[in-house]
Amino acid sequence: MRFFVIGTQAEVLDQLTPEFLRHELKCAANLWKDDFIRVIYNRTDGKGGVFVVEADSEEEVREKLGSLPMVREGILTLDVYGAKVWRAIEAIADG
């Protein structure tokens, strides 16, 4: 199942060390390499990111994204939304 995850970051990014940020990026890259994270976007308001992920449940999403250092440290909070294909569009298109 596909999930959209809206991440909102605390306003402490300027206080994070380069080492911490490198570790965050490496952890996210590993989740992407494992085909869990499909896409990551930056929010245009500069307050976080949007993840598109593939998982069996919301619990799996929270567990895997919870392994990210920014989530573990409470710097990034997550709102998780399950999504499925809107099949009605096919009926309308065939209409």
Name the residue range of residue 18's domain: 2-94
Q: Can you give the pLDDT at residue 95? A: 66
- Determine the average pLDDT of the residues in 83-90: 81
CATH number at residue 11: 3.30.70.1060
Q: Can you give the pLDDT at residue 88? A: 79
CA distance 77 to 71: 6
More confident residue, 76 or 95: 76
Report the number of distinct structural domains present in the chain.
1
Q: How big is the CA angle at 71 (ends 48 and 28), to the nearest 5 degrees? A: 75
18-43 tens-digit pLDDT: 999 999 999 999 999 999 999 999 99
